[in-house]
Structure 1
């Protein structure tokens, strides 16, 4: 279809998907591949093959880049109807993931590294996808950061790479990047514990 309005809309969709795909964890990329499989695309068996992953669920860097390239080939082959169907399922999946990883209040001391600076600060709320960090330091949008914190005194520090996605007075919103299955499980367990603590406080009050 060569409708100029649709071509402009398609360009917006592809730009949005491109940004989202590059930020996805390995687990999210594989989940996205399942969405393509659900469309029953013909003559795309090779593009729809699952990538090999290590024991911890991490896809090798080269395989990750090849998988992303396959996504763009698949997206560009979709008809208008299939692309709209795919986006509808993608949005449903995205919001499902947000519900799966709720954001809960917290007060966790952490070390944040950015542009050679080491900053001691606190996370004010947290989810398995990101956190809001209280800080008076200056940051920029999409700035890469590294976060290091311990969930308990007797546990090893958890080190996570992230990116600044929100700037507010007194703090920043950080989105994690490339979490392993192990890290995701740790984060989910911690969030479950924080939620239980919050619920018990409300019951006592």
Structure 2
């Protein structure tokens, strides 16, 4: 790759990693660090065990920031070949994490909101990365939306941001824009329950 093209590509990669890493849980950061250390890099000195930076005291947040800063320092020093190798492993790991929560058929109501309207619709299938909704409302690809639903009437509503990525006659596919580790745990609980025949009689409530 030519020098100028590679510098532009490097900036894109680092910007993408920055957004993803700052949203990761502590455990996900440690997992990513292990992924980095397990790679057969050209410079084997670029190894760093940052798991000890996560402490339970009042400096925990500061230590987290130190880990992120040191991690980016290491990545910035990687050669083109090593950075591309790391990104390939990162994408495979990210895909595997999403596949841990497969798409499950479902049938429950939820509230969807856009800038100009609020819609109550049915979810037909759901995964940790998105949901397919049954609706005759008009949308556009890339349109931002907000979703709100709860597992039970007694539980707090789960609120997610997303974007329209697929449109069909009578339905629309939504991909979550971002999802926290807490929301992912709730989503995993939902998917596990939907996939469990013993819980099939338990209805889910739309957010209000």
* Range of TM-score over shorter length: 0.5 to 0.7
**Cα distance in 2, alignment partners of residues 137 and 51 from structure 1:** 49
The answer for unaligned runs of 5 or more in structure 2 is 201-208
Secondary structure in structure 1 of the residue aligned to 2:163: strand
Are residue 108 (structure 1) and residue 105 (structure 2) matched?
no
**Cα distance in 2, alignment partners of residues 44 and 19 from structure 1:** 22
1:17-36 matches, within 5 Å, as: 18-19=15-16, 21-22=18-19, 25-27=23-25, 28-29=28-29, 31-36=31-36
Secondary structure in structure 1 of the residue aligned to 2:108: strand
Are residue 158 (structure 1) and residue 169 (structure 2) matched?
no
**Cα distance in 1, alignment partners of residues 48 and 116 from structure 2:** 45
**Corresponding position of 1:77:** 77
**Cα distance in 1, alignment partners of residues 37 and 130 from structure 2:** 28
Deviates further, 165-174 or 89-98 = 165-174
1:99-131 CA-partner distances (Å, limit 9, x unpaired): 211111111200122225322112221112321
**Corresponding position of 1:191:** 191
**Cα distance in 2, alignment partners of residues 162 and 51 from structure 1:** 31
**Corresponding position of 1:86:** 86
**How much is the aligned-residue C-alpha RMSD, in angstroms?**
3.8
**Corresponding position of 1:128:** 128
**Cα distance in 2, alignment partners of residues 112 and 53 from structure 1:** 39
Alpha-carbon distance change, 8 to 142 in structure 1, aligned in 2, over 3 angstroms: farther
**Cα distance in 2, alignment partners of residues 185 and 8 from structure 1:** 40
Deviation at 1:65, TM superposition (A): 8.3
- Normalised TM-score (structure 2): 0.66
**Corresponding position of 1:137:** 138
**Cα distance in 2, alignment partners of residues 139 and 23 from structure 1:** 25
- Normalised TM-score (structure 1): 0.67
**Cα distance in 2, alignment partners of residues 12 and 142 from structure 1:** 27
Deviates further, 166-175 or 97-106 = 166-175
**Corresponding position of 2:204:** none
Preserved contact between residue 21 and residue 68 of structure 1 (Cα < 8 Å):
no
Deviation at 1:141, TM superposition (A): 0.9
**Corresponding position of 1:8:** 5
1:55-113 CA-partner distances (Å, limit 9, x unpaired): xxxx97x9988877666544332112321321232122122112211111111200122
Alpha-carbon distance change, 122 to 13 in structure 1, aligned in 2, over 3 angstroms: farther
Deviation at 1:176, TM superposition (A): 4.9
